[in-house]
Structure 1
Amino acid sequence: MVLTQQSVWGKRTLGTRSLKLIVIFGFTVVGLACLLAFAGKASAHGYIESPASRTLLCNQGTNKDCGAIQYEPQSAEGKGDFPVSGPTDGQIAGAGKYTELDAQSSDRWKKVDMKGGVNSFTWKLTANHVTEGWNYYITKVGWDPNKPLSRDQLESKPFCTVDGGNKQPAMSVTHKCNVPTDRTGYYIILGVWEIGDTNNAFYQAVDVNLKQGGGTTTPDPGPTVLPNFPASVWCSGHTESSITMSWTSSTASSGIKDYEVSRDGKVLGTTTKTEYTDSGLLANANYSYTVVAVDNAGNRSAASVPVSASTLPAVIPVPDTQAPSRPSGLAASNVTESAATLTWAAATDNIGVTKYEVYRDGKLITTTASRSYADSGLKASTAYSYTVAALDAANNRSAVSAAMAVTTKAATVTPAPGTTAAWDSAKTYLAGDKVMYNGIEYTAGWWTKGEQPDNSDVWKAASTDAVPTWNNAKAYNGGDKVVYEGHTYKAKWWTKGEIPGKAGVWTLIA
């Protein structure tokens, strides 16, 4: 496909405003490659100058107690994509930042007289960055002026929408909008300036006193501007089965409702975005696309110039014949009379390892996707040999790992009646269980396993005469005794890590 040289700014799509789609032409495109670049974010500023907004009247001193916004009426900036996103309800007028602007009652703010029908809204911009568009909302008939401004107080759709075309506007912008004529009295008009190169928007509340009737002739709204067709349409992405088309936005006096996308002369669907993804296509096939803009009055533009685009060729998978690497690092832990836990390092593969086979004494005992296995049902005091092999999705098997020998522990001898068994690091103990360790009997205070009796708070010596050696890793309670450097000390209160003879918590008793 040969296209004329041009560089096109893409409008925000899929919720991202900072994406610029730049297509460089002047050569034959093979496979329709699309170049992407990201625009740096900038901070735009502006306010509604006429009719005077709430923030401007704060700046002029007409509205009082406005907070910091009185010094910078152009800075009421918050999250964009209103009303789907944006400031939370009750914080809309202040853009989620200037809480003083969110105060609301029937007499809190100065009102500007206005008649329904066509009115001009002028924005004063102090930084005119790329613009997605402007939307104007008005409070509903019967709204409560004594409650903070919220989405359910506003009409669900703007009464006026102006497309910014993702272009830089002038420093002063005026829009002619048809204000509803079905309401009289105090209403709020909310102007939202959606920025095209950031995720933010500017919010301007205009407090108006609407007056209807009186025989006043509605001003001439001017000539109707029908939608123009998208001047530039291009492929912005493609796969084996899909093509994404993008285009520059159209404009119309009533605003653009959506775009109608056709493939090879047949309508595919509509979208409010400036891109459309056509799916379910044949691989390595060529298609022709056109786009029609439809405005809010139902007027349709002419179709754009047809643009050809192709899907990518189908990728024929290459058979996988390469086996994974040999597993290494085979190790055993938690060895008991009848069980052992095996672990090993990950094997590598050109596609990816999917599972491992574990062998005991040369026989396969399990297949697992993890890099560990707990083998059980073993005999006490018995030696076993373990190896591991890795497999990929094509069932290519690696060489087995180096063998690792594991000998289970001897069977536990049940102590004679009236005697206490020695502590076993592999055994689980419950509260009240007793063990012997280094000649001292200990009682478990709660569930424990592997915690050394002379080094854990869970164990308490049964005999008060048995004084253990002080351990800096163990906590002691008031009254506990320890031996340190040949002397016996008694704790005054709870302590841990404080050296006997050097800390005031310890009292020398022998």
Structure 2
Amino acid sequence: MTAPHAKKEWKYYKTKKDWNPNAPIERKDLELFCTYSDGGKLPEKSVSHQCEIPADRAGYHVILGVWEIADTGNAFYQVLDVNLTKSVSGNGSNTDANSTNEFKSKQYHDKITTLSWHPSTDNVSVMSYELFQNGHKIATIPGTSVSYDVSGLSQGKTYTYALKAIDAAGNESLLSLEITVQTTSATIPDTSTPTAPSNLHAHNVSAASVNLMWSSSMDNVAVSSYDIYQGSERIATVNGTVTSYEVAGLKSSSTYTFSIKAKDSAGNVSAASNVITVTTLESSPPVVEPDVPKTWAKNTSYHIGDRVIYKGVIYTCRQAHTSIYTWTPSEVLALWLPE
């Protein structure tokens, strides 16, 4: 014992005869079958107890050990998985194969189910398993197998399965617990709507566009797409893996409302997300480049209204012409008007 507290009582619980190992264990599945009282003594470093398992138990079971502390309301516990077996007479081996446990089913589609289990144990070896469907043996399976495909099932029907292990001497284990398999109907319409998208918000708002982002929806199969609404009008649809969208072509200094709806492949549409209101920014006035006159140059074509600078003075062209070196603005005022 690593925690040497004074012990009040040791209690041992086991699963009941009709418990279901394929379901979570509940308090009602356990029953007290063994107790030891310590009367408040400190335990030894190593403690062992002998408890008799009821004779009607076999196969996979769970044992819960609880030891209560004498001077507080606390307790410690330990859980054990056990395989319970019985001895029987037979030729060669005198011990039956342990009952198969963890027997379960995985349905691949509506006409085939795959059964699987943890292997049984035997003092010699397990030679085979016998599989029962609705109480009738349907297959003998090699002892090295731990799964089996059952085919030819009907749609929309319920089947029960149990498994028995057999050793080389012909000794048989008890039947495993039965499991139930329900095959699907020919068509099961998907009528579940996705959850509404959430946390819709805007960012990167400009004079003509806005980026929308949202948290993804959930669906019993998958979300196939999202519809983007501007007011009551659907303006775009994006793939179900996408959770953002840029709305372009908006007017500056204008107010818009946006919302999102999710859709699955069956056409089921979610409720709308939260509605957000976005106001675009003002548009910037156009940038006007200043009219900076260029320096006058010879052999250059000038037109009426062109402006040049010559020796620090600005001139406006009065007549279209091609300049020559003697027709400077200061010398030929018929061509140039000083400002």
Provide the TM-score with structure 1 as the length reference.
Answer: 0.31
Provide the TM-score with structure 2 as the length reference.
Answer: 0.43
Q: Select the structure that is richer in strand.
A: 2
